[in-house]
Chains A and B, each alone.
Chain A
Amino acid sequence: MTAGDYNFAYLDEQTKCMIRRAILKGIAVPGYQVPFASREMPMPYGWGTGGVQVTAACLTPDDTLKVIDQGADDTTNAVSIRKFFQRTAGVAVTEATAEATIIQTRHRIPETALTEGQILVYQVPIPEPLRFLEPRETETRKMHELEEYGLMHVKLYEDIARHGQIATSYAYPVKVEGRYVMDPSPIPKFDNPKLSDSSAIQLFGAGREQRIYALPPYTHVVSLDFDDHPFVASKAAHDCDLCGAADSYLDEVITDDLGGRMFVCSDTDFCRCRRAAGHTGRLGAPVTASRTVAPPPPPSPTRGEGGADPDLSDPGASPPPCGEGLGVGGHRHDIKETAE
């Protein structure tokens, strides 16, 4: 079967209409989980079936898509979903956050601030923040309906009682516009402040659980906490070893079996742009001048037809906007493989 046999962006138009209705309802009621008739997707649950359906419903042929997995553009989940849409929708793809119109993300918010007109699509494994506290779905729906959220604080209380601090470090519950308590998908709590007052539309899709929820632009989102144990957006107490950034979320990478480790930005695009701009961390190699800033490539409708990932492997394709394609990207890739 060739790409031409699929409808644009894989899903049929009826399904996309249905998903768009759910998205609109979600945007109208920020933080409320809207049920939708999730479809079987050609990938396993847990790989972003919900996010892919939301992305498919939002895509137009003029869009530029960026897909990240734990902040990285070059990991399996990101690469395969990007390829999926290149093949079924033929849209332009990019690694540059600023250039993308739709960003599908697994468990991170890009470091670069999002702008108006962008859509951030989250892949959500478990949309119900109260799931492991109250097993009855009928009851959790009732609790959302009646705004009975004391139980969410019981979880935080248990954290402090056991660990001396709020040990929840990802999927940290938030309250949206003073109304619904929402699971922000398993993003690190470092990213929680970025949920609030974002210029972009944020959409959350849970495929297995058949729920969509949304944050319209400039929505007020508060992370739950106690008066005497306030919310802290934590990260590893290091700078990035490649680009030297002190304010970005870091992955810890074990480099040998002798205790060697390095900390690198989890947002690969952010890290690459910084290195291209001349920043260097503890272990980073200097970037050659000729490889720095190239003009952003014009959106090209033929870009997706090659099938292969043009950004990293095809020398003929336009370089990513920060100018760093092969050298640093390849280097970083090696590091990640070492880690695994």
Chain B
Amino acid sequence: MTAHDRSLSDRPLFQVQNLSKYYGARIGCADVSFDLYPGEVLGIVGESGSGKSTLLSCLAGHMAPDTGRVIFDTALGPRDTVTMGEAERRRMGRTDWAFVHQNPRDGLRMGVSAGGNVGERLMAIGARHYGDIRDKSIDWLGRVEIAADRIDDRPRAFSGGMQQRLQIARNLVTGPRLVFMDEPTGGLDVSVQARLLDLLRGLVREMGLSAIIVTHDLAVVRLLADRLMVMKGGHVVEQGLTDQVLDDPQHAYTQLLVSSVLQV
């Protein structure tokens, strides 16, 4: 199944036009443009300092870009999220959007039980029935393979992989349409990574999610991403279908990146 089979409309879900962010005279990311269609997964790869995280922060509204437009296809039609009010942007951040942090500690409330963590987004959008919230939390813990009897445990009692899965459950519980992921598998050992990727791939396919995944791990994008963007020094140096970019890299840096992967 390809991305285009899954898309219900030809209208892009998310459009980025000439986005730039400067830190004083230094470039964070410069002149980035792309379209993301419903159900599509975009990978952004590049070395440390290439502007991946800056770009993702600007896209998710955590940081204000200096120039450019970030247009999201909301229920009320396409809207520029850079110029919309903060209240509206933050509301979108907990309904239509989700953000999975590299470090689950950044995305979870460590002092709140797993059930409370999953339920927070529900309560944030107005759920006020304890029983319903709890049922939904249990359902989502099951979907990310966390046993229901761990619902009242704090995240700090969980392993790193479980914390990351809990963070994913917490983000997906409100049925977002677009998920931003910043190195979702960073810091996990390879077997846990493999399970997490498997889970993510299943959820993305099943829910028809669009996702933007920032990573430096080419294996992750190979598995998850439909399309790939390669960044260096704040600029996008190459973009295209994942397999195409990885199998036939055109830009010198992409060639270097692909050939740097260790073969076991």
Residues of A bordering B, CB below 8 Å: 133, 146-148, 150-151, 153-154, 157-158, 160-162, 226-229
Q: In the complex, are the beta carbons of B116 and A157 less than 8 A apart?
A: yes
**In-complex Cβ contact of A150 among B86, B87, B120 (8 A):** B120
Shortest CB distance B257–A (Å)? 37
B128 at the interface (CB under 8 A from A): yes
Closest CB pairs A-B (n = 10): A150-B124, A150-B123, A153-B123, A226-B130, A227-B129, A146-B87, A154-B116, A154-B120, A158-B116, A157-B116
A147 to B113, CA, bound (A): 24
CA A275 – CA B152 in complex, angstroms?
48
- Shortest C-beta distance, A231 to chain B (Å), equals 12
Using a CB-CB cutoff of 8 Å, which residues 106-156 of chain B contact chain A? Answer: 109, 112-113, 115-116, 119-126, 128-131, 133-134, 151-152
Q: Which residues of B have CB within 8 Å of A150?
A: 94, 120-126
B195 at the interface (CB under 8 A from A): no
User: How many whole Å from B147's CB to the nearest CB in chain A?
Assistant: 16
Q: A153-B123, A154-B123 are in contact. Are A161 and B129 (CB under 8 A)?
A: no
**B72-116 contact mask (Cβ, 8 Å, vs A): 1 or 0:** 000000000000001100100010000000000000010011011
Q: List 13 A-B contacts (CB under 8 A).
A: A146-B90, A148-B124, A150-B126, A153-B123, A154-B112, A157-B115, A157-B133, A158-B113, A161-B134, A162-B152, A226-B128, A227-B128, A229-B130
A142 to B: closest C-beta gap in Å: 8
- Report how far A158 CA is from B117 CA in the complex, Å: 10
Query: Would you call A157 and B130 a contact (CB within 8 A)?
Result: yes
Shortest C-beta distance, A335 to chain B (Å), equals: 40
Q: Which of B123, B129, B130 is most buried by chain A, counting CB atoms within 10 A of its CB?
A: B130
- With A146-B86, A146-B90 as known contacts, state yes or no: A154 contacts B119, CB within 8 Å: yes
Q: Are B130's CB and A228's CB within 8 A?
A: yes
Within 8 Å CB of B124, what residues of A? 148, 150-151
Inter-chain CA distance A229–B126, complex, in Å, is: 15
Which bracket fits the contact residues of B? 20 to 34
User: Per DSSP, are chain B's interface residues mostly helix, strand or loop, or mixed?
Assistant: helix
- The answer to whether A161 and B86 touch (CB under 8 A), given A148-B124, A154-B109, A226-B129, is no
Q: Please, how many angstroms separate the alpha-carbon atoms of A7 and B109 in the complex?
A: 49
Alpha-carbon distance A226/B128, docked complex (angstroms): 5
Q: Given the complex, which residues of A lie within 8 Å of B109, measured CB to CB?
A: 133, 154
How far, in Å, is A227 (CB) from chain B's closest CB? 5
A161 to B131, CA, bound (A): 10
A153 neighbours in B (Cβ, 8 Å)? 123, 128
Decide: B90 and A161 in contact? CB cutoff 8 A. Answer: no
Please, which residues of chain B bring their CB within 8 A of the CB of A229?
130
> Given contacts A227-B129, A229-B130, is CB(A148)–CB(B119) below 8 Å?
no
Chain B residues, Cβ within 8 Å of A151:
120, 123-124
Chain A residues within an 8 Å CB radius of B116: 154, 157-158, 161
Instruction: Give Cα distance in the complex from A148 to B113, angstroms.
Output: 20
Bound Cα distance A162, B124 (Å): 21
Q: Measured between alpha carbons, how far is A160 from B151 in the docked complex, in Å?
A: 13
Q: How many Å lie between the Cα of A158 and that of B155 in the bound state?
A: 13
In the complex formed, the residue of A with least CB distance to B152 is A161
In contact, A160 and B130 (Cβ under 8 angstroms)? yes
| Given known A-B contacts A154-B116, A154-B123, A148 and B90 have beta carbons under 8 A apart | yes
With the chains together, A151 CA to B131 CA distance in Å?
A: 17
Least CB distance from A289 to B in Å reads: 54
CA distance A161 to B148 in the complex (A): 13
